[in-house]
A = this chain, B = another copy of it.
Amino acid sequence: MLKANHHAEPLGRREQNKIDTRHAIADAAFELARSVGPGAFTVDQIVERAGVSRRTFFNYFPSAEDALTVRMDLFIDLALGVFEQLPANEPLFGAIIRAFTETTRMEGLSQHGELFRMAGADPDLLRAQLHSWERAEARIGEALRARLGTAASELYLTALVGCVMSSTRAALRDWAVHTPPSASDSGKQLEARILAALTMLRDGFADPGALIAPDPPDIPARS
């Protein structure tokens, strides 16, 4: 269910077992959340499915909800990998947007959307996700620092990253409200919204009326 790592480094049994356990727990939690709803299951149910002891669960995650944020962490892993490969002379916002679209091409967004919707029904899951976004922000900030060098101020950098993440989240909200879970082009709808939001940000929120076009807007180069 969860993606394995792609760098074929020689992993020892120890490392590999830990990764497997982690994913087993995450998968069990996700399936449970799907079937009975977020916040409607206990840690004991998770560990039964995952085949580990209760105590082991808490060696990996501080709470049941945290097991549901593994997917986002992995998504960020991938996206950062893509981002670092992009040519350094590419415009900043363009690189960010491309890193995102390339990653969605690998991973898809449906499960992320699903989890986002769940968070609307369970405050604890929402908090875990917000925390996850926060961690992602920090990691992306480092990647941007590596690209921009010391010319960009700390404030500029963190504000920029924060806005990118905020815009993405706004797109998720809009998508969750306006696209029914059953929609066939659900993923495309979401991607289009994220692109629209990032484009607005890049252009300084100049056009309040910017709406979602039926097909993904093309992005005229800038910044």
Contacts and interface: CB of A to CB of B under 8 A. Distances in A.
Contacts of A188: none
Nearest to A222: B204
A52 interface: no
Nearest to A210: B156
A187 to B, nearest CB: 17
Contact of A163 (B163, B178, B210): B163
Interface in A95-152: 123, 126-128, 130-131, 134, 148, 151-152
Given A151-B208, A160-B205, A202-B205, 5 more contacts: A127-B131, A157-B208, A159-B171, A162-B170, A163-B205
Nearest to A171: B155
13 contacts: A127-B130, A155-B170, A155-B171, A156-B207, A158-B173, A159-B167, A159-B197, A159-B201, A163-B166, A163-B201, A202-B204, A202-B205, A203-B204
A159 B201 CA distance: 8
A223 B209 contact: no
A154 interface: yes
A177 interface: yes
B123 A155 contact: no
A196 interface: yes
Contact of A204 (B123, B162, B223): B223
Interface in A22-77: 62
A156 B208 contact: yes
A212 interface: yes
Contact of A206 (B130, B206, B223): B223
Contacts of A201: 159, 163, 204-205
A205 B140 CA distance: 17
Question: Which 3 pairs of residues, A with B, have the shortest CB-CB distance?
Answer: A204-B204, A162-B166, A159-B170
Interface string A172-184: 0110011000000
A201 B200 CA distance: 11
